[in-house]
Amino acid sequence: MRNMKFFMIFAFLLFVAIGYKTYEEYHRIQETQKLIVLNESRSLSEFISAFRQTYQDFFLLYHIEVDEKTINLLPVKTISEISNRFSSSVQGDVVIRTVSDRPRNPDNMANGFELEMIQYFKKNPEETDKFIQKEDVYYYTKPLLIQQSCLRCHGKREDAIPSIRDKYENAYDYKLGEIRGLLNIKIKERDFFAAMYSDFIETLISTILLSIIFLIIIYVLIQKMHAKEEQYTKQLETDIATKTYEIKKQKDILFDQAHHDALTGLPNRVLFNDRLEHGIEQAKRHKTEIALFFIDLDHFKQINDSLGHQVGDKMLVAVTERLKAKIRKEDTLARLGGDEFTIIIEDMKEIQDVSHLAQKILEVLTQPVHIEGHTLYISCSIGISLYPQDDTDANNLIKYADAAMYKAKEEGRNNFQFYSSEMTALALERVVMETNLRQALKNEEFILYYQSQVDANSGKLTGVEALIRWQHPALGLVSPMKFIALAEETGLIVEIDRWVMKTAMKQVTKWYQEGLAPSVLAINLAMRELRSNDCIEILQETMSDIGFKPEWLELELTERQVMINPEETILKLQQISDMGVKIVIDDFGTGYSSLAYLKRLP
């Protein structure tokens, strides 16, 4: 587009130059034509003047008498005749006239233009000639002045030659130097001038055609250049885009290398610090909490020293994969160097969640690792600091987590410690409790107590409620207040509920078989159990296998549990009710439900 603008400007300037040159050449031809005609006119004028003077001199020199015969030889007669013949010979292209405003011969009387020129020369005596162009005709005029020899014919009449005085009565009393008449040479434009203009037109047309051809050639060249320029530009853009992509890719690689561990691909210390600072800012803004894990592998140096760094590197990669499997996608796992790892847990909900994660990490890392034919065992020590409980500064949180990690090593390794000793004790208690709960299910440490339900008015037994207790081998009898909440959090409540249901149904069925009438068995049903996919199926199978009748069973749920997901809960409760099982809502009216849901409960 830019080249095309230059082309248009160039074409315009070229035609302007041609136009100017054409005008200049045309003007030059006109001036040349005028100069030719002027020179031709002056040459004729000089010839005529010489002719007239020669005739006059001969008459005077040889004392030729002017009579009826010789008068016809005087210039006044001969000049007109010669001019007419000359004009005829050139087909009227050149007309020579010698005229006067007071002629003796009427044929020599000046016309209007000639009279005007005579007056002009009289008013401008310094002018010797005048060259004028009117349309295609040129006029050369020159005043005829009275000379000394002219006085013999045009001076005082009494001094004139007798024959002249007798012949003519006018054209006397002229003085020396006075204008007696006018020489008028009229020249028309002739064929050779037309040829000049024809040549000029042909030259002009040729120049224009050559210019057009030249411009066409330039235009084609510009178009080709433009096409090549576009091709080059596109190629350049492609190359730039490719190079930009490669540079960006290389930049990303360099950034990744600068911010990630080469062995494990985990964020390194630089990126870890950035993530921690960012996490703290987010926590401040949203008023959330952060847990920072500082993990150090126990006795890792022995693996490097005994089996070499290649095996040690593979162990670090295996540890990385196991740690990744235990954290959330939004958590940050980093390797600070050597055998030190950190985990940033953002948006921490409960301290128990942190303890559970720490315990899972301890458990997963103690599992054997098979590398190059070796079965290796590893453990770790974990230090944990909390934001904002321990501190709000990133460096202090790292320092506190590191201190807690060393405390874990002092405690014998393969454990975790919070920076706060109180948190460590509480977390350890819950972890131990969870472990013991799993062992209790496996070792059948739970026992059931049956609390009678009696009609207050009649004193008649209306049923029994099964109440679970934990007979801990070391702690003794543990109240459900100590472990039910933990069982619900860990999901163990489902197994506990099913154990209670199966054990209680067996006991009540046995009582009925022995002739006793315990009436209805009341069991507390956990929400996790109700929400399980096979809840209805397990209930039916258990009753069928034991021979327990549905009308003997009463399931109790709290209003809070029902209102967690009322639509799904009511649907399942309806299915259980359709089996003949009685449903009881405990703690009703504490503010969770509405009358609309009350009407829909079975």
Q: DSSP letters of 19-84?
A: HHHHHHHHHHHHHHHHHHHHHHHHHHHHHHHHHHHHHHHHHHHTT----TTGGGGSHHHHHHHHHH
Dihedral, CA of residue 486, residue 488, residue 491 and residue 493, to nearest 10: 100
pLDDT band for 92, please (50, 70, 90 cuts): low
The full length of the chain comes to 602
Distance CA 359, CA 534 (A): 30
User: 397 and 385 in contact (C-beta within 8 Å)?
Assistant: yes
User: Per-residue pLDDT for 589 more than 60?
Assistant: no
Nearest alpha carbon to residue 290 among 212, 430, 193, 387? 387
* CATH for 269-440 (3.30.70.270, 2.60.40.10, 3.40.630.10, 3.50.50.60): 3.30.70.270
pLDDT band for 597, please (50, 70, 90 cuts): low
Distance CA 73, CA 59 (A): 9
The better pLDDT of the pair 351, 593 is held by: 351
> Among 52-61, 494-503, 528-537, which stretch is predicted with the lowest mean pLDDT?
52-61
Percent of the chain exceeding pLDDT 70 equals: 87
What pLDDT score was predicted for residue 134? 84
Each residue's pLDDT tens digit, 546-561: 999 999 999 888 766 6
The whole-number average pLDDT for the span 516-521 is: 87
User: Per-residue pLDDT for 27 more than 80?
Assistant: no
Q: Where are the alpha helices (DSSP H) in 444-534?
A: 480-490, 493-513, 527-531
Looking at every residue in the chain, the average pLDDT score rounds to: 83
Number of alpha carbons in the 13 Å side-chain half-sphere of residue 34: 12
User: Per-residue pLDDT for 601 more than 90?
Assistant: no
Q: State how far the alpha carbon of 309 is from the alpha carbons of 111, 174, 237, 317, 337, in Å.
A: 132, 143, 48, 12, 14
Domain ranges for the chain? 2-189, 269-440, 444-600
pLDDT band for 57, please (50, 70, 90 cuts): confident
Which amino acid makes up residue 87? S
User: Per-residue pLDDT for 150 more than 60?
Assistant: yes
User: 141 and 117 in contact (C-beta within 8 Å)?
Assistant: yes
The whole-number average pLDDT for the span 118-133 is: 90
User: Per-residue pLDDT for 105 more than 50?
Assistant: yes
Each residue's pLDDT tens digit, 416-451: 999 976 655 655 676 788 888 889 989 999 999 999
User: 538 and 560 in contact (C-beta within 8 Å)?
Assistant: no
Which amino acid makes up residue 271? L
User: Per-residue pLDDT for 74 more than 70?
Assistant: no
Distance CA 50, CA 116 (A): 26
Long-range pairs, 371-377, Cβ under 8 A, ≥24: 371/311, 371/314, 371/315, 371/318, 372/311, 372/314, 374/307, 374/311, 376/303, 376/311, 376/315
Which helix (H) or strand (E) is 99 found in, with range? strand 94-99
> Among 89-98, 131-140, 380-389, which stretch is predicted with the lowest mean pLDDT?
89-98
Distance CA 260, CA 321 (A): 15
> Among 301-310, 368-377, 484-493, 563-572, which stretch is predicted with the lowest mean pLDDT?
563-572
What pLDDT score was predicted for residue 593? 47
Residues 6+ away with beta carbon under 8 Å from 389: 289, 420, 423
Distance CA 43, CA 40 (A): 5
The whole-number average pLDDT for the span 56-63 is: 70
Q: Which residues pair with 401 in a beta bridge?
A: none
Dihedral, CA of residue 184, residue 188, residue 190 and residue 196, to nearest 10: 100
Each residue's pLDDT tens digit, 157-207: 777 777 777 777 777 788 888 888 898 888 876 655 666 666 767 777 877
Question: Looking at 189-220, which runs of residues are DSSP E strands?
Answer: none
Each residue's pLDDT tens digit, 223-274: 777 777 778 888 888 888 888 888 888 787 777 778 899 999 999 999 999 9
Which residue, chain included where needed, has tokens 């702690």?
Answer: 475
The whole-number average pLDDT for the span 277-284 is: 95
pLDDT band for 35, please (50, 70, 90 cuts): confident
Q: At what angle do helices 2-61 and 75-89 cross, to 10 degrees?
A: 140
Quick one: three-class SS letters along 261-329? CCCCCCECHHHHHHHHHHHHHHHHHHCCEEEEEEEEEECHHHHHHHHCHHHHHHHHHHHHHHHHHHCCC
What pLDDT score was predicted for residue 187? 84
What pLDDT score was predicted for residue 147? 79
Q: Which region holds residue 358: left if phi is over 0, alpha if psi is between -120 and 50, else beta?
A: alpha
What pLDDT score was predicted for residue 343? 97
Residues 6+ away with beta carbon under 8 Å from 221: none
Helix (H, G, I), strand (E, B), or coil: what is residue 171? coil
Q: Where are the alpha helices (DSSP H) in 385-492?
A: 394-410, 421-443, 480-490
Q: State how far the alpha carbon of 147 is from the alpha carbons of 144, 158, 174, 597, in Å.
A: 9, 18, 10, 150
Which amino acid makes up residue 566? P
* CATH for 444-600 (3.20.20.450, 3.90.580.10, 3.40.50.300, 2.40.100.10): 3.20.20.450
The better pLDDT of the pair 588, 262 is held by: 262
User: Per-residue pLDDT for 128 more than 70?
Assistant: yes
Percent of the chain exceeding pLDDT 90 equals: 34
Look up the pTM and report it: 0.42
| Residue environment code for 471-491, b if the CB has 16+ CB neighbours within 10 A, otherwise e | ebeeeeebeeeebbebbebbe
